Amino acid sequence: MKIYRIGELTRRIKSLLEEGFPSIWVEGEISEYTRHRSGHHYFTLKDADSVLPCVMWRGQANSLAFTPQPGMQVQVHGRVTVYEKGGRYQFEAWEIRLSGEGELMAAFERLKAKLAAEGLFDSERKKPIPKFPWRIGLVTSGTGAAIRDLVSVSHRRNPAVELILAPVRVQGEGAAEEIAQAIEMFNRYSDVDLLIVGRGGGSMEDLWSFNEEAVARAIYQSDLPVISAVGHEVDYSIADMAADLRAPTPSAAAEIAVPDAGELLRGLENARSRAKTSLTNLLLNYKERLQWAQRSRAFHRPQELFRENSQRLDEYRRRMETASAGSVERLRNRIVSLNSSLRALDPMGVLKRGYSVCRKLPEEVVISDSSSLHRGDNLSITFAKGSAISRVVKVEEGRLLF
């Protein structure tokens, strides 16, 4: 009977498993996922019956087109192996893909709903794109078709616009983090007017880095305006929704961002032509007015015009003086008439003609009727000059006796 040592048995099991399952695909739901600081990825796949511990070494993880998350239904390509020190079997993953396009869309919709609820796509916060940028930051691959299109279109439209590239990976493990870091770097250090973030076309998995939360948040937090240009016209990414403006392709982004120098020059030429025409018309108008003035009588005989106006002024002055003299005479006559009326109404004038004013004492009531008096009443009599006190001796109708 052969007796195995633990290590020997483990190696035999390892050999049997690895030779029996050298390359297979497994499918399940990710229940745990950890990215170790070494770069290796550790996760667990499960289904209704069992769980399978998995490892993905750093070299293979760098080619991932998306960031695996718990709850994702995935298909994993690799082999069964045994971790001898722990005495347990595990699955060594070489490739991970989502279980069909439906799972990708489900992940897309989950993140879209989450970020929309936080306001990352609100139109009110989107910044305007500058009309005349001089420096544009590009966040894309340094070797792909996107950068060639961006440079070609930009230089064709306006060679004076400067392009500054931050080369990043646009797919695979860590691509989303590189894109987000490049956006943050431009905001911190670079003097640019706006950013274009994007890549050329590809499958949904190829474009997945632009559906990552890290990229969406970096775009949302950017102080610089961001144009997103991901894939082809039919492709629509989370980055497109978070950006200030979406361009259907990288070429279209350059068309939008870079003003056409030829068009600007034509606009300036049109403005110059309009200004010249306006100035010419203005000068012609002034010339016509000057010619009219030169033909006028006043221009040729200014002294005569001055004498005529001076004579007219003298005539106005004489009229004013005559009118003033008449008004003064009428006022003088009116004053004389009023004085005569006042003198006629003056009671002292009546007294001077021999009349007097009789008042009953002590009330000093003016007496106009003798029937209001009685014998013995005291009276005050006022004359034109002086007054006297008397007493009623007898009252007769129509006259008094003192």
CATH number at residue 91: 2.40.50.140
Mean pLDDT of 55-72: 82
Are the beta carbons of 239 and 215 closer than 8 angstroms?
yes
Residue 117 pLDDT > 90, yes or no? yes
Q: Is the Cβ–Cβ distance between 29 and 49 less than 8 Å?
A: no
Cα–Cα distance, 184 to 187 (Å, whole number): 5
Paired strand residues for 292:
none
Co-location of 226 and 362 in the same domain: no
In a domain, 45, yes or no: yes
Tell whether 318 is covered by a domain.
Answer: no
DSSP state, 200?
Answer: -
Residue 17 predicted with pLDDT over 80: no
Q: What is the dihedral of CA 99, 104, 110, 113, to 10 degrees?
A: -160
Are 138 and 223 members of one domain?
yes
The answer to which of 74-78, 177-181, 191-195, 275-279 has the lowest mean pLDDT is: 275-279
Please say which residue of 75, 98, 121 terminates a domain. Answer: 98
Measured distance CA(140)–CA(142) in Å, rounded = 6
* Residue 381, burial from CB neighbour count under 10 angstroms (0-12, 13-18, 19+): middle
Do 242 and 212 share a structural domain? yes
Backbone phi and psi for residue 382, each to the nearest 5 degrees, phi listed first: -105, 130
* Residue keyed to tokens 């910044």: 127
Is pLDDT at 400 greater than 60 in this prediction?
no
Judgement on whether residues 255 and 266 belong to the same structural domain of the protein? no
The answer to whether residue 321 sits within a structural domain is no
pLDDT, the chain, mean: 83
Structural domains in the chain (count) = 4
Q: Which of 68, 98, 128 is the last residue of a domain?
A: 98
Most confident among 60-74, 190-204, 253-267 (mean pLDDT): 190-204
Is residue 230 in a domain? Answer: yes
Residue 322 lies in a domain: no
What pLDDT score does 303 carry? 66
Is residue 10 over pLDDT 80?
Answer: no
Highest mean pLDDT (candidates 63-77, 156-170, 197-211): 156-170
Q: Residue 119: which residues within 8 A CB-CB, separation 6 or more?
A: 125
Residues 44, 87: one domain?
A: yes
pLDDT value, residue 205: 77
Q: What is the pLDDT of residues 303-327, one digit of tens each?
A: 666 677 777 777 777 777 777 776 7
pLDDT greater than 60 at residue 95: yes
CATH number at residue 210: 3.40.50.10550
* pLDDT(214) > 90: yes
| pLDDT-wise least confident of 212-216, 225-229, 268-272, 302-306 | 302-306
Task: Judge if 138 and 204 occupy the same domain.
Answer: yes
Closest CA to 367 of 358, 379, 376: 358
Average pLDDT over residues 142-171: 92
**Judging by DSSP bridges, how do beta strands 378-382 and 357-360 pair with one another?**
antiparallel
Q: Which two tokens stand for residue 310?
A: 């001076």
Q: Are residues 221 and 252 in the same domain?
A: yes
The closest alpha carbon to 46, from 72, 25, 67, belongs to 72
How far is residue 192's CA from residue 129's CA, in Å, rounded to a whole number? 12
Reported pTM: 0.52
Counted residue by residue, the chain has a size of 402
Residues 64, 175: Cα–Cα separation, whole Å: 9
Lowest mean pLDDT among 39-53, 176-190, 263-277: 263-277
22-27 contacts at long range (C-beta below 8 A, 24 or more positions apart): 22/79, 23/77, 23/78, 23/79, 24/77, 24/78, 24/79, 24/80, 25/75, 25/76, 25/77, 26/52, 26/75, 26/76, 26/78, 26/91, 27/73, 27/74, 27/75, 27/76, 27/99
Question: Does 232 reside within a domain?
Answer: yes
Computed from CA positions of residues 32, 33, 36, 37, in that sequence, does the dihedral angle turn out positive or negative?
negative
pLDDT band at 89 (very low <50, low <70, confident <90, very high): confident
Q: Give the integer Cα–Cα distance in Å for 291 and 3.
A: 129
Residue 294 has pLDDT above 80, yes or no: no
In whole angstroms, give the CA distance from residue 45 to residue 76: 9
What would the pLDDT profile of 258-286 be if each residue is shown by its tens digit?
998 777 677 777 878 788 888 888 888 88
pLDDT value for 9: 74
Q: Which residue, of 53, 80, 98, is where some domain finishes?
A: 98
Instruction: Note whether 273 and 374 are same-domain residues.
Output: no
Do 171 and 150 lie in a common domain? yes
Nearest to 79 by CA among 30, 18, 1, 12: 18
* Residue 89 or residue 308, greater confidence: 89
**Same-domain status, 33 and 121:** no
**Side chain identity at residue 10, one-letter code:** T
Is the pLDDT at 398 greater than 60? The verdict is no
Domain of residue 232 covers 106-259
Tell me, yes or no, whether 253 and 113 share the same domain: yes
Q: Is residue 308 part of a domain?
A: no
- Are 13 and 127 part of one and the same domain? no
User: Between vectors from CA 221 to CA 217 and to CA 225, what angle results, nearest 5°?
Assistant: 115
Residue among 145, 133, 149, 146 nearest 195 (CA): 133
**Cα-only R_g, the chain:** 57
pLDDT at 377: 82
In a domain, 307, yes or no: no
Query: Is pLDDT larger for residue 305 or for residue 216?
Result: 216
Can you list the positions of beta strands (E) in 99-205? 135-140, 162-167, 194-199
What CA–CA distance (Å, rounded) separates 244 from 122? 10
pLDDT at 244 over 90: yes
Measured in whole angstroms, the distance separating CA 207 from the mean position of its chain's CA atoms is: 34
Share of residues in the chain with pLDDT > 90 (%): 32
